[in-house]
Amino acid sequence: MSDLSKTYEPKAVAELLYARWLGDENYRADPASSKPAFSIVMPPPNITGVLTLGHVLNNAIQDVLARKARLEGYEVLWLPGTDHAGLATEMVVERSLRKQRGIGRRDLGREKFLTLVREWRETHGRIIVEQLKKLGSSADWSRERFTMDADYSRAVQRTFVALYREGLIYRGRRMVNWCPASLTALSDEEVLPREEQSSLYFVRYPIEGEPGSFLTVATTRPETIPGDTGLAVHPEDDRYRKWIGRRAIRPFPRGPIPILTDPAVDPAFGTGVLKITPAHDKLDFEIGQRHDLPIVDILHPDGRIHCPAVPALDGLDRFEARKKAASLLEEEGLLAKVEPYLHTVGVSERANVPIEPRLSEQWFLRYPKVEEALRVVREGRVRFFPEHWEKVYEHWIENIQDWCISRQVWWGHRIPVWWREGSHRCQMESPGPDWVQDPDTLDTWFSSWLWAFETMDPATRQKFYPTSVLVTGPDIIFLWVARMIIAGLEFRPGHGPSAEENIPFRAVYFTGLIRDRLGRKMSKSLGNSPDPLALIEKYGADGLRFGLLRIAPQGQDIRFDEKQIEEGRNFCNKLWNACRFRVRFGRLSANARPWENPLSPFAVEMLSSLSQTGSRLETAFAAYEFSEAAGLLYSFVWNDFCACFLEAAKVDLAQEGSPTALGTLASFDYALSWILRLLHPFCPFVTEELWSHLELGPSTIQFAGWFTAAEARKLDERLGERKETALQARAIYQAAERGRHLRSTYGIPSNRKVPFLLRAEEPLAKAERNVLCALANASEITDVDGPPPKAPMVLTVLGELYLPLEGLLDLEVERKRLTSEKEKISRNWKAIQERLENPAVSARVPAEKLEAWKEQAVQLETAIHRLEAQLSELSE
């Protein structure tokens, strides 16, 4: 054993160890290995990305799984990579281009712009990869992939050609989500709902041939009136029955449009009359198709109005045109009223502007293997954690729609279709010099859905596919998870015909969303999103990982508080200090096993607790309950091992000639050996450093074995009947804890030695009495036959434990102090109660604040009851 420094310096340790791990190729996966396979593909972060707490959580969980599997004896492949992120990267580079040179991508031209993007990627695109290494990610970086790698790009294009030839990809003019800022189509999943305060305009449409008669329409978009080609009401709406089949006059440009009925109209919205603008609304398009209405497109791709027939609107931005249209209607006497209206608007995820439903010529995919994709999840071949996401997945699969896979961006996989004089060919290479390649690229997710298998060569796939588990966020359950399942089933990269061999992964773990202490989503604008690298610098990667995983329960959002990361750091320091204590006693013989030596009750109790912890960990990991696993380890190490056993061991080892000293040291080593291995997946750096200093096994902890349920049972068997002595140790620990609480109740500092009195039926042995004195910081523990005066008491398993107050404090002064404290807390409690009971206050306060007040009121009320009980004891 070698000496340990007084304090743990995580930064210096982490840099040296990670360089050594990579140099020794500890994470290189071997497809020829005879070990059983365990594999994960890393969800590829965007090359525009930097490390966030979401990345920390996701990759820490993957690393826990990978490191645990290595300890268990698996051949592990954790395959990393990055995503080209077509639209996101294009926007970042173009923004930089405009800032530096005052021009856009179209001014530069396609090829020059793509050269600029590739240069940008070389400079900035791997920042997040280097940051993931600082976290300790044990990925096989020799296999790092990029979605624009040449081999991967060819695979993407082959997939397009194959699906086209199967008749599953087609080109059509359909209603799509259009981003006027990015000038591209978007999928439904790339459109985010956002509540917006707007206006509802009530517009009068005159009835043709009926002077003074109108149908009034409620709309949020009067600027689209030039695109109206009909009005519709519900077939059973008696209010408008007499006008069905007649014609109304469109306000501008003036012209007759039919009045018709359609069951899709909501009679409860507005006036129950719907204006039909087939080119600019999905529902309107469907109604227009059913009634063969003309389609009039009145928007330029960038959101400006295209309507020469209405010069006052032509060329205006859509939002300026909205104000102008309302003004025109008012001038014509056709604007009945305007009301404020809160509604949900679809917003482009990347450009953060409202999208436009727009008819556009695009490439679409009819999803293959839909029924099979539903079946593999229902039958448990692919398991979701938490399970409730299965219902969400099923709902999407059962209502699946064709996928718009083309994008009007330049950075991405070019669609392998070639055009000449209106005809086209779908193939990998150009048919000849007269053919021009389709200008569109593929949706980024079209490349990502192949990630689980196209990142592997045949030998790797033979060994590691299907992968063991995918760790991702539930927000991309449709964008990525479902599509990867479909791709796996369709392209059958497995080595057999069964669905079991073609699924991309056997389990999916969905992480929660990290929020701040108030429950708000983290964002730069709110300033509530901490920099993980700053946290690593301050608390170490182990502290960040362990602190975050402890508060990340399965299926729930996480309330982040930096104090929890500080606790993670403190936990690592606690472990370090425990090992420093052990090093003082030198190395034992390799054959020194705890069960072959006399053991104190405290050693037996700790080993028994280790056994129970190991069994419970097995259950937690099997259920992907990472916070439960971290909590079990924290509780065992902090409480059972350090706070209890270690303190008892100090007493035992300080006693000259103690018969149990060797057993205590052997128990110490045995427990540390397993503690470090069990903690290694969560805290890789500190555990490896301690392992090397303590010389508990092989040169690296990473492959040293795992404490299985079988090992736990074996330990129980070895302890045998001695397990009964653990009851005495628990009795001592309980008495010490209640003694500490008793002295805390009366404000006696924990570092001040005080006498205790014990009234017990059975006298304590000297060794156990010494441990109780040490744990309770007692100057002495004296046996008594009856209740002493002026000494509050607590009941323990050992008997009645008394704290004689006479001489420790002035009882009258203590009464006054407690009374003053009670009055102060009572005032605070009353003030909070008044706020909670005041409707005017509670109506305007956020729900999170109300909950915080309620929680505070409960805590204050508990404190009042505690103080009243203390005052009662002092009076007696």
Who contacts 1 (Cβ-Cβ below 8 Å, separation ≥6)? 582, 583, 586, 587, 693, 694, 695
DSSP string, 729-747: HHHHHHHHHHHHHHHHHTT
pLDDT by residue (tens digit) across 275-308? 999 999 999 999 999 999 999 999 999 999 999 9
Q: What was the pLDDT predicted at 354?
A: 95
Q: What was the pLDDT predicted at 501?
A: 67
Which contiguous run of DSSP H or E holds residue 244? none
On the question of pLDDT at 525 being above 70, the answer is no
Which two tokens mark 316?
Answer: 């205006």
Rounded percentage of the chain residues whose pLDDT exceeds 70: 97
Q: Give 125: exposed, middle or buried? Use CB within 10 Å, 0-12, 13-18, 19+.
A: buried
State the average pLDDT over residues 536-565: 94
DSSP string, 121-157: HHHHTTHHHHHHHHTT----GGG-EETTSHHHHHHHH
pLDDT by residue (tens digit) across 418-467? 999 989 999 999 999 999 999 999 999 999 999 999 999 999 999 999 99
On the question of pLDDT at 392 being above 60, the answer is yes
Confidence band, pLDDT 50/70/90 cuts, at residue 874: low
State the average pLDDT over residues 166-191: 92
State the average pLDDT over residues 841-859: 82
How far is Cα 356 from Cα 297, in angstroms, rounded to an integer?
A: 12
Distance of CA 195 to the CA centre of its chain: 24
How far is Cα 136 from Cα 51, in angstroms, rounded to an integer?
A: 13
State the average pLDDT over residues 314-343: 96
Q: Give 735: exposed, middle or buried? Use CB within 10 Å, 0-12, 13-18, 19+.
A: buried
Contact call for residues 495 and 371 (beta carbons, < 8 A): no
On the question of pLDDT at 745 being above 60, the answer is yes
Confidence band, pLDDT 50/70/90 cuts, at residue 500: low
The CA-atom distances, in angstroms, between 402 and each of 5, 336, 368, 441, 478 are: 62, 41, 10, 17, 13
Q: What was the pLDDT predicted at 470?
A: 98
How far is Cα 95 from Cα 99, in angstroms, rounded to an integer?
A: 6
Least confident of 28-42, 94-108, 222-236: 94-108
Contact call for residues 46 and 82 (beta carbons, < 8 A): yes
How far is Cα 31 from Cα 84, in angstroms, rounded to an integer?
A: 27
Least confident of 19-33, 386-400, 737-751: 737-751
Confidence band, pLDDT 50/70/90 cuts, at residue 496: low
What mean pLDDT, rounded, does the chain reach? 93
pLDDT by residue (tens digit) across 65-97? 999 999 999 999 999 999 999 999 999 999 999
DSSP state of 698: S
How far is Cα 636 from Cα 638, in angstroms, rounded to an integer?
A: 6
Which two tokens mark 543?
Answer: 């502290």
Confidence band, pLDDT 50/70/90 cuts, at residue 563: very high
Contact call for residues 191 and 347 (beta carbons, < 8 A): yes
Q: Which CATH architecture has domain 184-356?
A: Alpha-Beta Complex (3.90)
pLDDT by residue (tens digit) across 136-156? 999 999 999 999 999 999 999
State the average pLDDT over residues 10-16: 94
How far is Cα 330 from Cα 310, in angstroms, rounded to an integer?
A: 16
How far is Cα 56 from Cα 353, in angstroms, rounded to an integer?
A: 29
User: φ and ψ at 448, to 5 degrees?
Assistant: -65, -25
In CATH, what number does 812-875 get? 1.10.287
Which two tokens mark 305?
Answer: 């109005």
Confidence band, pLDDT 50/70/90 cuts, at residue 495: low
Contact call for residues 378 and 394 (beta carbons, < 8 A): yes
Beta strands 558-559 and 514-515 are parallel
How far is Cα 461 from Cα 451, in angstroms, rounded to an integer?
A: 12
pLDDT by residue (tens digit) across 535-549? 999 999 999 999 999
Confidence band, pLDDT 50/70/90 cuts, at residue 809: low
Q: Is 6 marked as a binding-site residue?
A: no
Q: What was the pLDDT predicted at 232?
A: 98
Q: How many residues are listed for the chain in this entry?
A: 876
Give the other-Cβ count within 10 Å of 140's Cβ: 21
pLDDT by residue (tens digit) across 659-713? 999 999 999 999 999 999 999 999 999 999 999 999 888 999 999 999 998 999 9
Name residue, tokens 């975050």: 548
User: φ and ψ at 624, to 5 degrees?
Assistant: 55, 40
For 560-809, the fitting CATH number among 1.10.490.10, 1.10.730.20, 1.10.1040.10, 3.40.1000.10 is: 1.10.730.20
- Please, what's the largest Cα pairwise distance for the chain? 115
State the average pLDDT over residues 836-850: 81
Query: Domain map of the chain by residue range?
Result: 184-356, 560-809, 812-875
Q: How far apart are the first and last CA of the chain?
A: 56
Q: What was the pLDDT predicted at 791?
A: 83
Least confident of 82-91, 578-587, 810-819: 810-819
Confidence band, pLDDT 50/70/90 cuts, at residue 524: low
Confidence band, pLDDT 50/70/90 cuts, at residue 810: low
User: Which residues is 186 bridged to in the sheet?
Assistant: 177
pLDDT by residue (tens digit) across 255-277? 999 999 999 999 999 999 999 99
Q: What was the pLDDT predicted at 119?
A: 94
Contact call for residues 306 and 228 (beta carbons, < 8 A): no
The CA-atom distances, in angstroms, between 4 and each of 333, 478, 539, 586, 701 are: 87, 50, 19, 12, 17
Tell me, what amino acid is at 67? R
Which two tokens mark 235?
Answer: 């077939």
Half-sphere exposure of 405 (CA within 13 A, CB side): 29
Q: Which region, left, alpha or beta, applies to residue 229 given φ > 0 means left and ψ of -120 to 50 means alpha?
A: alpha
